[in-house]
Amino acid sequence: MFHFLRRRRCGRKLYPTTIAKLEAMIDLKLLRENPDLVRESQRTRGEDPALVDQLLEADRQRREAISAADQARAEQKAFSKAMGQKMAAASDEEKAQLREEGKQKAQAVKDLEATQSAAEQALHDLQMQISNVVEGAPAGGEEDFVVLEHVGEPTTFDFEPKDHLELGESLGLIDMKRGTKVSGSRFYFLTGDGALLQLGMMQLAARKATEKGFQLMIPPVLVRPEVMGGTGFLGAHADEVYRLEEDDLYLVGTSEVALAGYHSDEIIDLDEPKRYAGWSSCFRREAGSYGKDTRGIIRVHQFDKLEMFVYCRPEQATEIHQELLQLEKDMLAAIDVPYRVIDTAGGDLGSSAARKFDTEAWVPTQNTYRELTSTSNCTTFQARRLQTRYRDADGKTQVAATLNGTLATTRWLVAILENHQQADGSVVVPEALRPFVGKDVLTPKS
């Protein structure tokens, strides 16, 4: 978690202070002024609204502790100043009394600072349990999404279609057996044209992103705890994350994490939004998913992904969210698969997103839509935790907003193979990927 207990000098005395850090982790002003909004957000997510009242009480106790500690320090300072003048004319007995009173006041300061630190820790612990405030998402859980749009008709065939793994193996694209032999279940090799198909998809996504002003990045895949926690991935879903205990580092499940940490503890120029596109391998433990999607590469422990990430002013976030969604739709059009767009329900947002749109491609052999991309508006939630700020027109520092969206990932191969298969077991390569793959059609290996 965060190492947020820092120390600063006040005269010659060192004492703990976390006020600025705590204020930055959640918008306490919003919480105080509109607690009903936060309670309703908790209900929309299916989370406990009583946390709001607990947090308000913790905030009150912390402010009282700060006031008491400040008053005690002021009294100690005034007494020390007066004591210096009194000691010159005091008797030995009076000097002893003055010294004893000075010790008592110093101890009182120490005790009240300990109370303040405990109150700040209690506030911190509650803050970490409150998810971002939902903005417009429907209430409910995983199945309570709202379909916003269908693009294309579900693919049908006049033959029995093969699933992506059968196609991948017969075409020499995927080797699950050796992936399992080398690394365990849910690992795989992409081989030959399978590797070229993924690289082509990623390069196409990178090209589309850079054409729209995104700076291409290849970020680290190992990050510090404060970065992983700051992005909201060490809460309810912490068991999804791989941790290297000896090094106290985490493997990222998305380059969103590293890109969110890129400007942590900085004041950045946001006259124009900062747009980044991170290309990285990603890692997920898939805890609790045993028995689900165990066949093929739908739900695996390692995959590649190109993730868009934007820093902007909060008032720009809603518009940019739509821009990211449109870029995802443009990329899906390039690989020519039918898909739908859904408005994800509050209980399925994850802690950092205020609103999230998923695009789901049609998977013929499953006769359903499966998620390929998502784009989230995280408002100021991540930047508050990571202390990423900008200066407004008056020169005052404000908290930035962050957004993310997937532009390509390994799972896309599932939709490409299944939707573009032919009766003879071959697969037509989408036209946009042919320059990268070097073939129009992938044919079965003998």
Is 285 assigned to a binding site?
A: yes
Structure tokens at 422: 């032919």
Structure tokens at 234: 């060490």
Regarding whether 124 and 195 lie in a shared domain, the answer is no
Phi, psi (deg, nearest 5) at residue 204: -65, -45
pLDDT at 28 over 70: yes
User: Residue 288: what pLDDT?
Assistant: 61
pLDDT at 15 over 60: no
Structure tokens at 95: 């000097």
Region 291-315: mean pLDDT is: 92
Residues whose CB is less than 8 angstroms from the CB of residue 123 and which lie 6 or more positions away in sequence, other chains included: 22, 55, 58, 59, 61, 62
Specify whether 323 is catalytic: no
Residue 120 CA to chain centroid, in angstroms? 24
Cα distance between residue 357 and residue 365, in whole Å: 24
- Residue finishing a domain among 95, 129, 163: 129
Helix/strand/coil percentages in the chain, nearest 5: 45, 20, 35
Is 18 assigned to a binding site?
A: no
Alpha helices in 278-366 (DSSP H): 317-335
User: Residue 17: what pLDDT?
Assistant: 35
9: β partners: 14
Cα distance between residue 26 and residue 113, in whole Å: 23
Percent of the chain with pLDDT over 70: 93
Query: By mean pLDDT, which of 9-23, 170-184, 295-309, 322-336 is the weakest?
Result: 9-23
Residue 38 is assigned to a structural domain of this protein = yes
Region 256-272: mean pLDDT is: 97
Specify whether 91 is catalytic: no
What CATH number has the domain bearing residue 63? 1.10.287.40
- Residue finishing a domain among 129, 157, 173: 129
Helix (H, G, I), strand (E, B) or coil at 283: strand
- Residue finishing a domain among 98, 129, 160: 129
Regarding whether 390 and 259 lie in a shared domain, the answer is yes
DSSP string across 4-18: --EEEEETTEEEEE-
pLDDT at 82 over 70: yes
Residue 202 is assigned to a structural domain of this protein = yes
Structure tokens at 362: 């049609």
Regarding whether 159 and 122 lie in a shared domain, the answer is no
pLDDT at 11 over 80: no
pLDDT (tens digit per residue) in 196-210: 999 999 999 999 999
User: Residue 26: what pLDDT?
Assistant: 59
pLDDT at 24 over 50: no
Q: What is the pTM of this model?
A: 0.86
pLDDT at 14 over 70: no
Q: Give whichever of 101-105, 126-130, 244-248 has the largest mean pLDDT.
A: 244-248
10 Å CB burial of residue 371 (0-12, 13-18, 19+) is: middle
Is 255 assigned to a binding site?
A: yes
Tell me which of 40, 240, 371, 426 is the catalytic residue: 371
Percent of the chain with pLDDT over 90: 77
Cα distance between residue 437 and residue 194, in whole Å: 9
Domain housing 408: 146-442
Tell me which of 39, 224, 243, 299 is the catalytic residue: 299
Helix (H, G, I), strand (E, B) or coil at 310: strand
Regarding whether 253 and 315 lie in a shared domain, the answer is yes
Phi, psi (deg, nearest 5) at residue 29: -65, -45
Residue 13 is assigned to a structural domain of this protein = no
Specify whether 284 is catalytic: yes
Is 319 assigned to a binding site?
A: no
Is 284 assigned to a binding site?
A: yes
Tell me which of 186, 275, 384, 411 is the catalytic residue: 411
Structure tokens at 206: 């990178």
pLDDT at 33 over 50: yes
pLDDT at 348 over 80: yes
Specify whether 371 is catalytic: yes
Regarding whether 331 and 201 lie in a shared domain, the answer is yes
Residue 150 is assigned to a structural domain of this protein = yes
Regarding whether 82 and 179 lie in a shared domain, the answer is no
Helix (H, G, I), strand (E, B) or coil at 257: helix
What CATH number has the domain bearing residue 371? 3.30.930.10
Regarding whether 428 and 312 lie in a shared domain, the answer is yes
Domain count, the chain: 2
Specify whether 411 is catalytic: yes
Cα distance between residue 138 and residue 141, in whole Å: 9
Region 164-193: mean pLDDT is: 97
Q: Where are the beta strands (DSSP E) in 247-315?
A: 249-251, 266-268, 274-283, 302-312
Cα distance between residue 246 and residue 249, in whole Å: 8
Mean residue pLDDT across the chain: 90
Cα distance between residue 439 and residue 196, in whole Å: 10
User: Residue 291: what pLDDT?
Assistant: 60
| 126 confidence band (pLDDT: 50, 70, 90) | confident
User: Residue 405: what pLDDT?
Assistant: 98
User: Residue 129: what pLDDT?
Assistant: 83
Query: By mean pLDDT, which of 118-132, 175-189, 280-294 is the weakest?
Result: 280-294
Nearest to 156 by CA among 360, 443, 362: 362
User: Residue 87: what pLDDT?
Assistant: 80
